[in-house]
Structure 1
Amino acid sequence: MKPSLLLLTCLLLAACNAPRGEPPTTTSSPTAPAPTRTATLLPAPTPTATLTFTPLPTFTPTDTFTPTPTLTPSVTPTPTFAFPTFKVVMQAHCRYGPAKAFLHAGDLYPGDTGVVWGRYHLSNWLYVRLDKLTYPCWVAPSVVEVTGNITTLRYREYSLPGPSALYNPPASVAATRSGDQVTITWNSVYMTVDDDRGYQLDLFVCQNGAYLWWPVSFPDQYATTYTVTDQAGCAEPSSGRIATVEKHGYTNWIGIPWPPP
């Protein structure tokens, strides 16, 4: 063995058997003290206003609206109109129209009573309701005694029974003039003796400047002509009409072709 290799081996063995010393003591360098934290006083927090719960007022239901009933105006009583009354003082006829020419409607006897309902603007006849009859009719003022003011009564129109279903109006109605005289003609209408009440003319004529209502009746079917005075000088034209009359009422009216003056 080479002397150098032997020496190296001896050194290694010596090193392995050398005693272990104490671990080296680490000398600590003095440690600077940790800095002391200085407490910084923060400003005290401003207390936040606490929301106080205020209970809402309990809803008290209002009273249900009850509509006030509408007051219905009461009807003011109208004073009852006091119609004039009458008493018959002379035996006569009550008629269906306001003149003597009209058909008979009822008998009047002294002492009969009733109420006056109206009057006519073209004559002085009165529209009455007799206590003994169920229908009104017309009377001449000369045969009754009236209690009350007839001028407060309104004018009424007359209404005739009919038209008749049994008979026809006159045919071939004509009128001719001679000066201020107008003659009206017509054909006869046959009626039984019991039914026969003739004819009625309803005329408007001018006499002495006055325009007159001129009703005329005939007693039976055999009268077929009539002459009346009719002059010039009135604002309204003269005219006329004719009807057959039987005991139940009137036929339809037929116009008269009136000749001018």
Structure 2
Amino acid sequence: MKFYVLTLIALMLIGTACAPEATSTALPQVEAATVTEEIIHTATATAVPATPTLPPPTETFTPIPTETPTQIAYVDSLKAAVTADKLVCRYGPGKNYLYLFGYVSGARLKLIGKAHGNNWVLVENEPQRCWVNAEFLSVEGDLNTLKPMYPDGYTIPVSPYYGGTTVLTAVRKGAEVTVTWTEVLVSPGKYEDENMFPYIVEIWTCIDGEIVFDTLGSTVPFITFTDVGGCAEPSHGRVYVQEKHGYGGPAEIPWP
């Protein structure tokens, strides 16, 4: 038994002496340093500086160009010829003014102005200028180049016998305007003819976005007409008393 134990111990010593030397698995010191450097480098790289907050862009006002009204180069006069068989020349720019005289077809005219808002033009005729409807003319040139002469620039004859009236009321109901005034009785001997109106109402009303000039005649001291409204230029009007020698007034209408 003792021999067996000794033999076993001897074998163990021999095995230990013959075994190869064990290799250390510890990581080299340089690798540990490398890992540490990478960790530090990575942590530094992720520290992104804060991006400054920019203020919201402010709106820049850009002015919208406005349309400049086209300036018309007015002329002193235009030549024209009468195309109707007979064309009446009147004291004012409308069919209800007093009659001065008539032109025959082919008559040559010198036009020196126009009314604002209708197609009547002023004829140079001495000693009394008068108005005709341009619809019955053949005109050499553009009527738009004639200078506006009514209501500014021309005065209708003043009556030596009658003064003006007084507007009493001007009432609007929708697009309808009714005007009343003080009655003025014109003597029958002061009528031009049986068709003459003793009252002439001049109105500049807004129709389809444009100011339209019209001259209305009345035999009674009131009248109703249409004014749609909405034009850039205000509507307006006035009332005259008419007799064969001229006109009394005007009485301005307080526009409703």
Rounded to whole Å, the distance in 2 between the matches of 1:112 and 1:232 is 40
Shift of 1:167: 1.1
Q: Which residue of 1 aligns with 2:14?
A: none
Q: Which has the larger radius of gyration?
A: 1
TM-score, L = length of structure 2: 0.58
The answer (yes or no) to whether the contact 1:88–1:108 under 8 Å persists in 2 is: no
Q: Percent identity among equivalent residues?
A: 30
Alignment correspondent of 1:187: 182
Shift of residue 214, structure 1, vs aligned partner: 3.0
Instruction: Output the CA distance in 2 between the equivalents of 1:109 and 1:205.
Output: 33
Aligned length: 174
Q: Relative to structure 1, is the Cα distance of residues 163 and 182 closer, same or farther in structure 2, using a 3 angstrom cutoff?
A: same
Point out where structure 1 has 5 or more consecutive residues left out of the alignment: 1-80
Q: Is the partner of 1:194 in helix, strand or coil?
A: helix
Residue 106 of structure 1 aligns with which residue? 101
Of 198-207 and 116-125, deviating more is 116-125
What do residues 141-185 of structure 1 show as CA deviations (whole Å, max 9, x unaligned)? 222333455455433335234332311222353111222211111
Q: 1:243 aligns with which of 223, 240, 244?
A: 240
For the 8 Å contact 2:91–2:157, the answer to whether it is kept is no
Q: Does 1:234 align with 2:194?
A: no
Relative distance call for 1:168 and 1:103 in structure 2 (3 A) is same
Distance change >3 Å, CA 89–CA 210, structure 1 → 2: closer
User: Is contact 1:199-1:242 (8 Å) kept?
Assistant: yes
Partner in structure 1 of residue 198 of structure 2: 198
1:142-181 pair list within 5 angstroms:
142-148=135-141, 150-157=143-150, 159-181=154-176
1:88-135 CA-partner distances (Å, limit 9, x unpaired): 5321310122222332222222243332223334222222235xx643
Partner residue in 2 for 1:97: 92
Name the structure where strand makes up a greater proportion of residues. Answer: 2
One-letter amino acid of the counterpart of residue 144, structure 1? L
State the match for 1:213 in structure 2: 213
How many angstroms apart in 2 are the aligned matches of 1:149 and 1:84?
10
Runs of 4+ residues over 6 Å off in structure 1: none
2: distance between equivalents of 1:214 and 1:150?
A: 18
C-alpha distance in 2, partners of 1:213/1:128? 19
Change (3 A) 1:165 1:146: same
Measured at CA, do residues 88 and 106 of structure 1 come closer, stay the same or move farther in structure 2, by a change above 3 Å?
farther
Letter in 1 for 2:240: A
User: Is there any run of 5+ residues in structure 2 with no aligned partner, and where?
Assistant: 1-75, 192-196
Change (3 A) 1:258 1:207: same
